[in-house]
A and B are shown apart, each in its own frame.
Chain A
Amino acid sequence: SAVISQKPSRDICQRGTSLTIQCQVDSQVTMMFWYRQQPGQSLTLIATANQGSEATYESGFVIDKFPISRPNLTFSTLTVSNMSPEDSSIYLCSVEVSGLWWDYGYTFGSGTRLTVV
C-alpha cells in the first residue's frame, strides 16, 4: 500500500499569515484528498486534487482560502491562507489504494497540527 510523507507535522502561526502543507506519496495516484479535522471532531473533506486539473472543493471551502497544487501524480500541497484562530485544526491528506479487493483502502498522511495565534 502507498506511504505518504506529510510535512510539517505541526506549526504555530500568526493570524493573517499562510501555511503550506506538503504530501509526498511513494507511488503514483490519481486522486488526493485533503481533510480538515477540527478539535474533537471527525474528518471533513476540503477538496479533491487531480493531477492536471483544478481541485474540486466541497461546500464551505473556497480556492482563495485553501489553494491546492497537484503538479504530478505523487505530490500535492494545501495552503491555508490569511489564517485566523478558527483555522486551528489537524489537516490530513489521503489517497486511495486500489488493487486487489483485500488490499483496497485509503492511506493517510500523519497529519499537520496547525495552531493559529
Chain B
Amino acid sequence: AQTVTQSQPEMSVQEAETVTLSCTYDTSENNYYLFWYKQPPSRQMILVIRQEAYKQQNATENRFSVNFQKAAKSFSLKISDSQLGDTAMYFCAFVALNYGGSQGNLIFGKGTKLSVKP
C-alpha cells in the first residue's frame, strides 16, 4: 500500500524568506505522480505543483519548486520569497499510474500548516 508522510504539522516563515516543506512517500510502483496542493481558509484545494516520477528534472512554478529524490522517496516543496497569501495548509499527494491511466484516487499526507508572518 502506498503511504504519504508529512512530518511537519506546522511551520512558520517570515515574509520574503524561503521555507521548505517535507514529504516522503512509500510505494513499489515505478510510474506515478506527486503533487503539492494548497488549501487556504477558503477550503478550496489548489494545485501548486506536480512532478512525474520519470521526469528527472525538478518541477518549478514561479516561486514554488520541488526537490524530488526518487531513490529516497522524498518530495519536498520550497517556497521562495514567501508572501502573506501563502498562508495555508499544504498537502502532499500521490497517485500511481497504470497503462490505462490512473489507479484512482489521490493519497494524501496529513498536511503542514504554514503561516507567513509579516
Contacts and interface: CB of A to CB of B under 8 A. Distances in A.
Interface string A86-113: 0000101010101001001111101101
B85 interface: no
Interface residues of B, number: 21
B106 A94 contact: yes
A41 interface: yes
A13 interface: no
A105 B50 contact: yes
A89 to B, nearest CB: 11
B53 to A, nearest CB: 11
A117 interface: no
A6 B102 CA distance: 23
Nearest to A37: B43
Interface in B70-111: 91, 93, 95, 101-102, 104-106, 108-111
